[in-house]
Structure 1
Amino acid sequence: MGDHRAHRAKPAGTDDDAAPFHALTDRVRTELRSTDDLALYERLLSLARRRPPAGHDELADVLTAIERPLWAREIAAFVLGCAGDPRAFETLVLLLNYRDPVRCATAAHALARLGDPRTARAAAALATNPLRTAYALHPVRLLAELRAPQSVPALIATLDRLLVPGTPYWRVALACVEGLATLGDRRALPVLRAARDHPRLAAPAAAALARLGVLDDGGAA
């Protein structure tokens, strides 16, 4: 179906969005199955080059059009999200909770730039839902990046729930520890102290406590 790399589109966002966008479009390229797919793909890349409002309405239409493939909605939502268009919100939250971690990561990047006040509440709901823990890694990381009022309580609640022996979700727990270290809120002290008792979390939890001014023995640094 040809090679698009020589004329890559650049999304209408910041330079920081270019590399994730190129990774997204390279990945989506492998999902194209027909000449119609290729035509839609090239159209979306063309729209991504445009500054608002040109192209944004057409991209928003992709999000709600019947029988559009998921990859097309993902490209449209990413471009709109990075440009701060709130019409991308619902699709990006859906992708943030998707079974494919790569799509979750792409959605988290765009949501962090969207600037929608609903984002933190949605990420907190996904992170703290015990039925969705397998997909909570990127919501947890997004909460730490957002630094919203919901971030610390959600990370504490999620980490506390995962401090059980043999949990298969230790990477989510680790992301909670790292996020709490970044946020630097002393409300996290009890759960971080408890995390030191878990072999996979002991070192990062101790490092997080040190950033909060707490020594390994529980005293103040």
Structure 2
Amino acid sequence: MEDEFHELTDRVRAELRSPQDLVAYERLLGLARKNTPAGREELARMLVAVERPLWAREIAAFILGCAGDKRAFETLVLLLNYRDPVRCATAAHALSRLGDPRTARAAAALATNPLRTAYALHPVRLLAELRAPQSVPALVATLERLLTPHNPYWRVALACVEGLGALGDRRAVPALTAATGHPRLAAAAAASLARLGVHELPGDEGRGDGGAGAAKEGRDAAKDGSGA
């Protein structure tokens, strides 16, 4: 976790607002370096202490999560659904290493919640990484819900498409096939279908190079960000 931890601590340092913050920050880093049972107990207490700044709880949860300490679970799930994408990414990294069976269920609940779609990118990516029983159904459900014209959350849909290709489960074929009709998703959907062994889409027969032209159009739209 060394690179990710350095990125986290560098970012948090920029958020410090007082000498007291700096003292607390340095203490957290000291606990992380020592990595002792007593240090982890102190970090766990920080997660539930009142009036602790968010950055302190984030660092404590990250350290504990990467160490496999399940006391970090609730805080990490809260951060996974946070409005700041960089905190979501940090939480997802720690949750992927936590080894808690509740993680996939929580990520699936966040990914499929239509009221939280704006914050669903990292839960979607986490589901693909976890390869849990909940992963494919949640990604399919999320992708199908986002296959509407001019949907503003196409990056979340794209993460679903890429994740389903990586998971290699043929239950995703209908949703991925539907995604090929969306310019911003077409190239990735075709690639994911190919990984699943689907190289010719329904209706491509007898169309000459029309299928190839559509695929090229999708690739071009994905590159320049155009299309619905």
Structure 2 length-normalised TM: 0.88
Report whether the alignment pairs 1:126 with 2:97.
no
Give, in whole Å, the separation in 2 of the partners of 1:35 and 1:203. Answer: 51
Residue 13 (structure 2) aligned to one of 25, 29, 32? 29
Kept after mapping to 2: 8 A contact 1:96/1:105: yes
Structure 1 counterpart of 2:112, one-letter code: T
Give, in whole Å, the separation in 2 of the partners of 1:215 and 1:98. Answer: 38
Report whether the alignment pairs 1:145 with 2:129.
yes
Residue 157 (structure 1) aligned to one of 126, 141, 149? 141
Kept after mapping to 1: 8 A contact 2:177/2:201: no
Q: CA deviation at 1:65?
A: 0.6
Report whether the alignment pairs 1:55 with 2:42.
no
Q: CA deviation at 1:53?
A: 1.2
Q: Secondary structure at the match of 1:49?
A: helix
Q: CA deviation at 1:130?
A: 0.0
Q: CA deviation at 1:119?
A: 0.2
**Post-superposition, which runs of at least 4 consecutive aligned residues in structure 1 deviate over 4 A?**
none
Q: CA deviation at 1:52?
A: 3.8
Alignment of 1:69-80 (within 5 A): 69-80=53-64
Residue 192 (structure 1) aligned to one of 161, 176, 181? 176
Give, in whole Å, the separation in 1 of the partners of 2:156 and 2:67. Answer: 29
Kept after mapping to 2: 8 A contact 1:206/1:216: no
Deviations 1:132-165 (A, max 9, x none): 0000000000000000000000000000000000
Report whether the alignment pairs 1:208 with 2:172.
no
Aligned identity (percent) is 79
Q: Secondary structure at the match of 2:183?
A: coil
Corresponding residue of 1:181: 165
**Structure 2 unmatched runs, 5+:** 205-228
Corresponding residue of 2:52: 68
Structure 1 counterpart of 2:80, one-letter code: L
Give, in whole Å, the separation in 1 of the partners of 2:186 and 2:32. Answer: 44
Deviations 1:172-201 (A, max 9, x none): 000000000000000000000000000000
**Structure 1 unmatched runs, 5+:** 1-16
Q: Secondary structure at the match of 1:197?
A: coil
Corresponding residue of 1:11: none
For these two proteins, the number of residue pairs brought into alignment is 203
Give, in whole Å, the separation in 1 of the partners of 2:85 and 2:161. Answer: 20
Please identify the structure whose Cα radius of gyration is greater. 2
Corresponding residue of 1:114: 98
Structure 1 length-normalised TM: 0.91
Report which of the two has the higher share of helix: 2
